[in-house]
Amino acid sequence: HVQLVESGGGSVQAGGSLRLSCTVVGSASEDTSGHCMGWFRQVPGKAREAVASSYPGAGPERDTFIADSVKGRFTISLDSAKTTVFLQMRSLKPEDTAMYYCAADRSRYYCSGDFPYWGQGTQVTVS
Which residue type is seen at 112?
S
Q: What is the pLDDT of residues 65-121, one digit of tens each?
A: 999 999 999 999 998 888 899 999 999 999 999 999 999 999 888 899 999 999 999
Do the Cβ atoms of 49 and 38 come closer than 8 Å? no
Q: What single-letter amino acid sits at 102?
A: C
For residue 64, count CB atoms less than 10 angstroms from its CB and return exposed for 0-12, middle for 13-18, buried for 19 or more: middle
3-state helix, strand, coil in the chain (%, to 5): 0, 50, 50
Which residue would you say has higher pLDDT here, 62 or 37?
Answer: 37
The pLDDT tens digits for 14-44 are 999 999 999 998 876 777 788 899 999 999 9
What is d(CA 52, CA 30) in angstroms, rounded to the nearest whole number? 26
| 3-state secondary structure (DSSP) of residue 48 | coil
Sign of the C-alpha dihedral, residues 84, 39, 74, 127?
Answer: negative
